C-alpha cells in the first residue's frame, strides 16, 4: 500500500502558536534590560542542561548529570553579575568534572563512551549563554545587538522552513538531516540578509546596508551550521527531538540550535567592534 505523505505545512499552526507565546517573552526580556535577560538565559540554560543530559542517556539526578546542570547554572549566574572569568572557569570545571564522573560512575559502558559528549555539552551551551549575556550587558548597543542577532536567526529559521517546504528539491545533507534542502538553505540565508538590513535600519538610523548584510550573512550561516550540527548530534544518539517541551518544535535545544551557534559569532563581532558599538559598525 502506498504511503500518503503528510501535508507540507501540517505542523505550521502549532509551530506558530508556540512562537507567539515564546517570542514576545524573549523580546520583552531583551528590551527591559540585562537583569531580566540574564534570568531568561539562566532558566534556558537549566532546561538545555536537562535536555542535553537526557540526550546523552543519563539523568540530572546522577552525579555526572548534576555536574552538567550545576555548572551551567553557576556559569549563567556569574555572567549575570558580569563575572566573566568566573563564568568561563565554571564551564571548564563543569566540563571536566562531568566527564570524570561519567567515567568513574557505575553506569553502562555505552554511557561512559558518551562521557566526552556530556562534558562537551557544557561548553557548547555555556559559551552561547555567556556570549548572549555579555552582548546584552553593553547598554543600548547591547540591546540593539541582541535584537539583531535574534531577529536574524529567527528569520533564517523561518525562511529555511518555508523555502524547504514550498520548493523542496535536492537534499542539503541527506546523511545528517534528510529533510533539509538546498532551497531551504538559500531561503534561510536570503531571509537572514533581509532581516539584517531591516533590523539594522530600524535599530540605528543611516545604518550601512553593506555592513549589515555582511554581519547578517555570518550570523545566518552560523545559525544554519548550528542547525545541521544539532541534527547530526541527534542522529548520532538516534533521537528525533531532544524533548517534547515546545509543541511543534520539540525541545528547547531543537528550537535554539541556530542561536546557540550564532551567539558566539555575534559576541566575537561585538568584541571586534568595541564597547558601545553595534555589530554592523565593524
Q: Which of 102-106, 126-130, 192-196 has the lowest mean pLDDT?
A: 102-106
Checking if the pLDDT of 105 tops 80, the result is no
C-alpha to C-alpha distance for 59 and 70, rounded to whole angstroms? 13
Q: Would you kindly state where each structural domain of the chain is located, as residue ranges?
A: 15-137, 139-282
Closest CA to 101 of 128, 144, 71: 71
Give the pLDDT band of residue 8 (cuts 50, 70, 90). low
C-alpha to C-alpha distance for 30 and 257, rounded to whole angstroms? 19
pLDDT on residue 6: 46
pLDDT higher at 176 or 3? 176
pLDDT on residue 1: 40
pLDDT digits (tens, 9 = 90+) for 205-242: 666 688 899 999 999 999 999 999 999 999 888 888 88
- B/e letters for 151-179, b = 16+ CB within 10 Å, e = fewer, are bbbbbbbbbbbbbbbeeeeebbeeebbee
pLDDT on residue 271: 93
Closest CA to 59 of 92, 107, 24: 107
Closest CA to 199 of 154, 254, 161, 159: 154
Give the pLDDT band of residue 199 (cuts 50, 70, 90). very high
pLDDT on residue 22: 84
Give mean pLDDT, residues 100-113: 68
Q: Write down the pTM of the prediction.
A: 0.90
> Any residues with CB less than 8 A from the CB of 87 and at least 6 apart, and which?
75, 76, 78, 79, 126, 130
Give the pLDDT band of residue 108 (cuts 50, 70, 90). low
Checking if the pLDDT of 3 tops 60, the result is no
Q: Which of 53-67, 126-140, 213-227 has the lowest mean pLDDT?
A: 53-67
C-alpha to C-alpha distance for 34 and 145, rounded to whole angstroms? 12
Q: What percent of the chain has pLDDT over 70?
A: 89
pLDDT on residue 207: 63
> Which H helix or E strand runs over 181?
strand 177-181
C-alpha to C-alpha distance for 235 and 228, rounded to whole angstroms? 10
Q: Kind of pairing, strands 177-181 and 171-173?
A: antiparallel
pLDDT on residue 17: 76
C-alpha to C-alpha distance for 282 and 50, rounded to whole angstroms? 37
CA angle 197, 262, 77 (to 5 degrees): 120
Q: Which of 30-39, 88-97, 199-208 has the lowest mean pLDDT?
A: 199-208
What is the rounded average pLDDT for all residues in the chain? Answer: 88
Give the pLDDT band of residue 85 (cuts 50, 70, 90). very high
Let me know if 278 is exposed, middle or buried by CB neighbors in 10 A (0-12, 13-18, 19+).
buried
Amino acid at each position: 500500500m502506498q504511503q500518503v505523505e503528510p501535508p507540507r505545512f501540517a505542523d505550521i499552526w502549532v509551530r506558530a502558536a508556540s512562537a507567539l507565546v515564546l517570542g514576545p517573552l524573549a523580546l520583552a526580556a531583551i528590551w527591559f534590560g540585562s537583569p531580566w535577560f540574564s534570568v531568561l538565559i539562566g532558566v534556558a540554560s537549566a532546561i538545555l542542561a536537562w535536555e542535553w543530559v537526557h540526550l546523552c542517556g543519563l539523568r540530572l539526578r546522577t552525579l555526572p548529570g548534576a555536574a552538567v546542570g550545576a555548572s551551567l547554572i553557576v556559569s549563567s549566574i556569574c555572567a549575570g553579575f558580569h563575572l566573566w572569568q568566573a563564568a568561563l572557569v565554571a564551564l571548564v570545571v563543569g566540563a571536566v568534572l562531568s566527564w570524570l564522573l561519567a567515567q568513574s560512575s557505575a553506569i553502562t559502558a555505552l554511557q561512559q563512551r558518551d562521557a566526552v559528549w556530556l562534558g562537551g555539552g557544557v561548553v557548547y551551551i555555556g559559551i552561547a549563554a555567556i556570549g548572549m549575556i555579555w552582548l546584552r550587558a553593553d547598554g543600548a548597543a547591547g540591546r540593539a545587538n541582541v535584537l539583531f542577532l535574534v531577529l536574524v536567526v529567527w528569520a533564517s529559521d523561518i525562511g529555511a522552513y518555508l523555502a524547504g517546504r514550498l520548493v523542496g528539491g535536492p537534499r542539503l545533507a541527506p546523511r545528517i538531516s534528510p529533510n533539509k534542502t538546498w532551497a531551504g538553505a538559500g531561503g534561510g540565508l536570503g531571509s537572514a540578509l533581509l532581516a539584517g538590513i531591516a533590523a539594522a535600519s530600524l535599530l540605528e538610523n543611516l545604518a550601512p546596508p553593506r555592513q549589515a548584510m555582511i554581519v547578517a550573512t555570518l550570523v545566518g550561516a552560523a545559525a544554519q551550521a548550528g542547525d545541521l550540527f544539532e541534527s547530526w548530534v541527534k542522529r548520532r544518539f538516534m533521537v528525533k527531538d531532544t524533548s517534547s517541551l515546545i509543541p511543534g518544535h520539540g525541545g528547547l535545544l531543537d528550537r535554539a540550535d541556530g542561536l546557540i551557534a550564532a551567539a558566539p559569532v555575534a559576541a566575537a563581532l561585538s568584541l571586534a567592534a568595541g564597547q558601545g558599538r553595534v555589530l554592523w559598525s565593524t
